[in-house]
């Protein structure tokens, strides 16, 4: 855990002043730390009957695809609006100013399939919440949500647990925004 955390680089004032951007590219470039990150997710989700890994555009795809490969299960992308070519359903989520949408192919998950939803980081939880709604609309069963990083001061994981009864597992936490 501390090895993974120590490899995440913080870039102040990106993408705007006041934001501390938690950059996973410095983790991904380190083969041992990258392997360890994926190994922690694999250990947690193997032998749990997971049938699909659902991951969020775009940084969620990195660990999500590696986890799906290691578990030997399908990978499902949740993408930003307008990127998926087939028939989709869509969910809005709040941005600091305005709203955006995430989408999933309607045939990506079968009723009753057990899934894990992954992103790189949970802050307010808005992006994960929209993805939870998409999976639930397709009648998938969400085993857990998983991120590399949690920003607990923003309360996203607690809110998701309270609202949906779904646990959010994160490898490490950073204080602040
Ligand atoms: P939220 O919907 O508020 O939980 O925000 C989570 C999404 O925004 C994730 O997809 C992250 O990649 C991105 N994000 C939010 N805050 C940060 C941050 N401080 N550093 C890096 N990425 C962030």
pLDDT tens-digit profile of 112-144? Answer: 999 999 999 999 999 999 999 999 999 999 999
Cβ of residue 147 lying under 6 Å from some atom of ligand 1:
no
Q: Give me the mean pLDDT over the 17-41 stretch.
A: 97
Which is the closest atom of ligand 1 to the Cα of 122? 4
Check residue 138 and give its pLDDT. Answer: 98
Cβ of residue 19 lying under 6 Å from some atom of ligand 1:
yes
Q: Taking the mean position of all CA atoms in its chain, how far away is CA 8?
A: 16
Cβ of residue 21 lying under 6 Å from some atom of ligand 1:
yes
Closest residue CA from atom 11 of ligand 1: 121
Check residue 148 and give its pLDDT. Answer: 98
What's the CA-to-centroid distance between 177 and ligand 1, angstroms? 9
Q: Which two tokens stand for residue 119?
A: 């992103």
Q: Which of 94, 118, 134 is nearest to 170 (CA)?
A: 118
96 included as an active-site residue: yes
* Domains assigned to the chain: 48-173 (3.40.50.2020)
Query: Mean pLDDT in the chain?
Result: 97
Which is the closest atom of ligand 1 to the Cα of 123? 4
- Residues 153-170 pLDDT 10s: 999 999 999 999 999 999
Q: Give me the mean pLDDT over the 70-89 stretch.
A: 98
What's the CA-to-centroid distance between 100 and ligand 1, angstroms? 14
CB 119 within 8 A of CB 102: no
Q: Which two tokens stand for residue 158?
A: 């607690």
Give dist(CA 41, CA 88) in Å, integer.
28
What's the CA-to-centroid distance between 126 and ligand 1, angstroms? 9
Q: Give me the mean pLDDT over the 76-101 stretch.
A: 94
110 included as an active-site residue: no
**Helix, strand or coil for residue 170?**
strand
Closest residue CA from atom 16 of ligand 1: 123
Give dist(CA 108, CA 101) in Å, integer.
17
When pLDDT is cut at 50, 70 and 90, the band that residue 177 belongs to is: confident
When pLDDT is cut at 50, 70 and 90, the band that residue 95 belongs to is: confident
Neighbours of 144 (CB within 10 A): 17
Percentage above 70 pLDDT, the chain = 99
Is the predicted pLDDT of residue 24 greater than 80, yes or no?
yes
Check residue 89 and give its pLDDT. Answer: 98
Is the predicted pLDDT of residue 96 greater than 90, yes or no?
no
């Amino acid at each position: 855990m501390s090895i993974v955390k120590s490899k995440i680089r913080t870039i102040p004032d990106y993408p705007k002043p006041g934001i501390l951007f938690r950059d996973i590219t410095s983790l991904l470039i380190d083969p041992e730390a990258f392997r360890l990150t994926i190994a922690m997710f694999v250990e947690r989700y193997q032998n749990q009957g997971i049938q699909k890994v659902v991951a969020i555009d775009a940084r969620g795809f990195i660990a999500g695809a590696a986890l799906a490969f290691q578990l030997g299960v399908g990978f499902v992308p949740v993408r930003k609006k307008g990127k998926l070519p087939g028939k989709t359903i869509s969910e809005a989520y709040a941005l600091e100013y305005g709203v955006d949408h995430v989408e999933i192919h309607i045939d990506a998950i079968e009723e009753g399939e057990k899934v894990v939803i992954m992103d790189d980081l949970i802050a307010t939880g808005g992006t994960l919440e929209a993805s939870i709604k998409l999976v639930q609309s397709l009648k998938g069963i969400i085993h857990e949500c998983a991120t590399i990083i949690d920003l607990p001061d923003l309360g996203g994981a607690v809110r998701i647990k309270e609202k949906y009864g779904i646990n959010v597992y994160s490898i490490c936490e950073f204080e602040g925004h």
